[in-house]
Amino acid sequence: MGRLLLFLATGGVCAAAIVATGAGARSSAFSCNGTFNNQTFADVDVPASAVCRMSNDTVTGTITVEGQLFASTLDVGGDLLSDGGKVVQIDSSTIDGNLKVKNLHGAPADQDAVSIVINTIHGFLGVSFNKGGTGDFLVSSNTVDLTENVSFNTIAGDLAVAAETVTQKMKVNSNTGAGTKEVDGNTSSTLITCTSNAPPFESHGNSAPTVSGQCH
């Protein structure tokens, strides 16, 4: 009888441990690989080998990207962050935190590694130290509540920073590559500055109390 009671007690402890582990797993970030529409998630992670396609989804926490993200019409309660990912393309979305994309590399051939278009970003927008793919980098028609910084990128195709509305400073600095770098039709409440961008470089119709450097 003593041995039976000991066995049951041990089994009970193991069962409790399994339940606790399961609960912990459910509260961790959702690993996105595939297509997901009209769903709600807490945190989302895109692993290095994954291609994540999201549309009309709600993310109450943060999205982190190590692989490829193609997203449209998201409502993100936290940040969208990629450090060392491959592709970040997002449009028509609202991000309550920051959107920071850096150190992208390894995008597929003929793919635009960066496309950030028609989003409302209530924090900071940073696109820096990225390279990869044979396509363009596009940052256009976003509304940014804090500072925007598009700098130190190496682009195989063209770079376009266009029609941005930025509450604080906009900086476009030290971008390289054979393609054209264009900074056109942007508005900042304080400063737009462009320095050390490799030719060919074009700038037209930017508006701020101070517009300096190559954007002047």
Q: What is the three-state SS of 7-39?
A: HHHHHHHHHHHHHHHHHHHHHCCEECCEEEECC
pTM of this prediction?
A: 0.87
> What is the rounded CA–CA span in Å between residue 193 and residue 50?
36
For CA atoms 83, 111, 75, 147, give the dihedral sign: positive
The pLDDT of residue 1 is 44
- Average pLDDT value for the chain: 89
Digit-coded pLDDT (tens) for 98-128: 999 999 999 998 889 999 999 999 999 999 9
Digit-coded pLDDT (tens) for 38-71: 999 999 999 999 999 999 999 999 999 999 999 9
The CB-side HSE value for 82 (13 A sphere, CA atoms) comes to 31
Closest CA to 83 of 115, 116, 127: 127
pLDDT of 138 above 90? yes
Confidence of residue 7 (pLDDT cuts 50, 70, 90): very low
pLDDT of 13 above 50? no
Closest CA to 165 of 193, 138, 194, 189: 189
pLDDT of 184 above 90? yes
The pLDDT of residue 167 is 98
> What is the rounded CA–CA span in Å between residue 178 and residue 159?
10
Confidence of residue 6 (pLDDT cuts 50, 70, 90): very low
> What is the rounded CA–CA span in Å between residue 157 and residue 169?
26
**7 or 59, higher pLDDT:** 59
Confidence of residue 15 (pLDDT cuts 50, 70, 90): very low
The pLDDT of residue 133 is 80
pLDDT of 20 above 90? no
> What is the rounded CA–CA span in Å between residue 169 and residue 165?
10
> What is the rounded CA–CA span in Å between residue 93 and residue 57?
10
The DSSP bridge pattern shows strands 170-173 and 191-195 to be parallel
Once rounded to an integer, what is the mean pLDDT over residues 173-199? 97
> What is the rounded CA–CA span in Å between residue 50 and residue 167?
34
pLDDT of 5 above 80? no
The CB-side HSE value for 36 (13 A sphere, CA atoms) comes to 19
User: Residue 102: in which H helix or E strand, if any?
Assistant: strand 99-102
